[in-house]
Amino acid sequence: MVKLPIKYPLVTSYTSSAALLSILSNSDDYLPWFISNYIQLYSDENVLDFYNFTGKYSYCPWIDSQIISRESFLKSFNNIHQFIQSNISEGIYVMIVVDRYYISNYQTFKQRHVPHPLFIYGYDSNKSVYLTGEFFRNGQYQYEEVHYNELFEAFMHCNDNGAWVKGISLYKYIPERYAYHFDLNFFRTNLSNYLNSICPAAGYQIEPVTYINFGIRAAECKLYEQIERIKLGRTIDIKVFAMLCNHKKVLSTSWDFLSQEGFVSDNSPIKEDLANLKSKYSIIQNFAIKYTITNNTDIHKKIDEIAAELLCFEKTVIGQFIEELKA
């Protein structure tokens, strides 16, 4: 067996963050970078996610990444197994877009054709399986074994035209390359931008800003969009609720780090307020999960009752958080 180091990550809303943080979480050295770069949110017509300028992998200082298109791979390489295993053996993590229809771990097995990236961090030749990470069932990020034959079929028959990631991505973790120095002003600015729903790229012509909302405004709009869908008995995006919970986990983790570094007081009531925020967003998430099981549209009333007060509470707590950092 060849297995590269992984650790279950704090943020698991989407495959991109879950895979990256599975790699980085093996060392606490990533934490100052993590809390500085996982504060801002954005939303567009499709998603609510953490925002960054250039992509989660390209801006991470410890990751060398490259992408090989499916077409280039099929022209240049004969054996997907040899390709994956040789890279894993050299310490390189692999992300490959597969069709979930062909892999029995997925709920959509033999039901629907869905192209989606699969994170691979090892293999076992004796069992003929890959060690992988994905949202296999019930919206939960899991580490599971995928059989060689199923992965082969899922890759060879995959049409990745509709996937948000295409082809094969390779990630080399180089922890010794960079020592990240925490910048309190940068952290405070990002937190302020979240609270005030400011686009962090507004002052830079890096790329045209095409997203709809940023910061707490993005969170609020997506939350109420899902509440309305529940009210109308429509399918909801459960990842919106997962993202809201993950964001509050990051805020609590940030406070703990800042307390350890002496930037804030561990005895401040803000610590408990952040824990309460996380708990209340978890309650909302549980109601949303219950809706996906029961289709009871009355659940929208319970979420709506919590949401308005909770968003006001969040704005107050984060405002106090920022003031604490100025002291």
User: Between the CA atoms of 241, 242, 244 and 245, what dihedral angle is there, to the nearest 10 degrees?
Assistant: 120
Distance from C-alpha of 87 to C-alpha of 209, rounded to nearest angstrom: 36
Q: Please report the pLDDT score of residue 23 as a whole number.
A: 95
Distance from C-alpha of 273 to C-alpha of 281, rounded to nearest angstrom: 12
Distance from C-alpha of 261 to C-alpha of 35, rounded to nearest angstrom: 13
- pLDDT, one tens digit per residue, over 104-119 is 999 888 999 989 999 9
Distance from C-alpha of 152 to C-alpha of 131, rounded to nearest angstrom: 14
The fraction of the chain above a pLDDT of 70, given in percent, is 93
Q: Which residues contact 23 (CB under 8 A, 6 or more apart)?
A: 4, 5, 6, 63, 93, 121, 171, 173
pLDDT beyond 70 at 203: no
- pLDDT, one tens digit per residue, over 24-69 is 998 888 999 999 999 999 998 888 999 875 455 457 889 999 999 8
Q: Please report the pLDDT score of residue 321 as a whole number.
A: 97
Task: Average the pLDDT over 222-246 and give the result.
Answer: 96
Confidence of residue 207 (pLDDT cuts 50, 70, 90): low
Half-sphere exposure of 238 (CA within 13 A, CB side): 16
17: closest CA among 89, 130, 95? 95
Task: Average the pLDDT over 288-312 and give the result.
Answer: 95
Of 59 and 90, the structure prediction assigns the larger pLDDT to 90
96: closest CA among 12, 17, 19, 21? 19
pLDDT beyond 60 at 304: yes
Q: Please report the pLDDT score of residue 208 as a whole number.
A: 54
Q: What is the pTM of this model?
A: 0.89
Q: Please, are residues 63 and 173 in contact by the beta-carbon 8 Å criterion?
A: yes
DSSP β-bridge partners for residue 98 = 116
Residue 11 amino acid letter: V
